[in-house]
Amino acid sequence: MAYIPNTEKDRQEMLDSIGVASFNELIKNIPEEIILKGNIDIPERISEYEVIKEIQQYEKINRATSELVSFLGAGSYDHFVPSAISSILSRSEFYTAYTPYQAEVSQGTLQAIYEYQTMICKLTGMDVANASMYDGGSALAEAALLAVNHTGRNEIIVAGKIHPNYLRIIKTYCEGQGIVVTELTSSRGTLLPEKLSMYMSDKVAAVIVQQPNFYGCLEDVDELATLAHQHGALYIVAVDPISLGILAPPGDYGADIVVGEGQALGISQNYGGPYLGIFAVKEFLLRRMPGRISGITIDADGQRGFVLTVQTREQHIRREKATSNICTNQGLMMLAATVYLALMGKKGIQEVANLCLQKSHYLVNEIIKIPGYHLKYKRPFFKEFVIQTPRPENEIINSLAKKGILAGVNLRSFDSQDDGILIAVTEKRTKSEMDNFVRELKALI
Same domain, 350 and 334: no
Preceding omega of 87 cis (within 30 degrees of 0): no
pLDDT of 433: 98
Q: Is 417 helix (H, G, I), strand (E, B) or coil?
A: coil
Between 431-443 and 331-367, two packed helices, what is the crossing angle to 10 degrees?
60
Same domain, 285 and 381: no
Same domain, 76 and 90: no
Q: Is 320 helix (H, G, I), strand (E, B) or coil?
A: helix
How far apart, in Å, do the first and last CA atoms of the chain sit? 61
Same domain, 349 and 391: yes
Q: Give yes or no for a contact between 131 and 292, defined as CB atoms under 8 angstroms apart.
A: yes
Return the CATH number at 388.
3.90.1150.10
The amino acid sitting at 218 is L
pLDDT of 23: 83
Residue 32 lies in a domain: no
User: Could you give the CA distance from residue 222 to residue 53 in angstroms, rounded to a whole number?
Assistant: 56
Same domain, 330 and 209: yes
- Given 310, 340, 370, the domain boundary residue is 340
Taking Cα atoms as reference points, which of 320, 336, 343, 435 lies closest to residue 95?
Answer: 336
Same domain, 253 and 371: no
Residue 209 lies in a domain: yes
Burial (CB count <10 Å: 0-12, 13-18, 19+), residue 165: middle
Preceding omega of 193 cis (within 30 degrees of 0): no
**pLDDT tens-digit profile of 301-342?**
999 999 988 865 555 566 666 767 666 667 899 999 999 999
Which residues, at least 6 apart from 20, have a Cβ–Cβ distance to it below 8 Å? 26
Residue 147 lies in a domain: yes
Residue 26 lies in a domain: no
pLDDT of 330: 74
Return the CATH number at 260.
3.40.640.10
pLDDT of 149: 94
pLDDT of 348: 98
Same domain, 124 and 138: yes
Q: Is 327 helix (H, G, I), strand (E, B) or coil?
A: coil
Number of domains observed in the structure of the chain: 2
pLDDT of 268: 93
Same domain, 76 and 87: no
Give me the numbers of helices (H) and strands (E) for the chain, helices first please: 13, 15
**In this structure, how many other beta carbons lie within 10 angstroms of the beta carbon of residue 22?**
11
Residue 44 lies in a domain: no
Q: Is 165 helix (H, G, I), strand (E, B) or coil?
A: helix
Q: How far is CA 322 from CA 51, 146, 326, 327, in A?
A: 44, 11, 9, 10
Same domain, 304 and 351: no
User: Could you give the CA distance from residue 439 to residue 417 in angstroms, rounded to a whole number?
Assistant: 29
pLDDT of 14: 87
Residues of the chain with pLDDT under 70: 1-6, 97-99, 311-321, 323, 325-329
Which residues, at least 6 apart from 383, have a Cβ–Cβ distance to it below 8 Å? 73, 77, 212, 216, 240, 242, 243, 356, 357, 359, 360, 424, 425, 426
- Given 340, 373, 397, the domain boundary residue is 340
Residue 29 lies in a domain: no
Residue 59 lies in a domain: no
Same domain, 228 and 290: yes
**pLDDT tens-digit profile of 396-432?**
999 999 999 999 999 999 999 999 999 999 999 999 9
Supply the range of the domain harboring residue 390. Answer: 65-80+345-443
> Under the phi-then-psi rule, with left for phi > 0, alpha for psi from -120 to 50, and beta for the rest, what region is 5?
beta
Same domain, 396 and 362: yes
Q: Is 383 helix (H, G, I), strand (E, B) or coil?
A: coil
Residue 354 lies in a domain: yes
Same domain, 230 and 336: yes
- Given 340, 372, 387, the domain boundary residue is 340
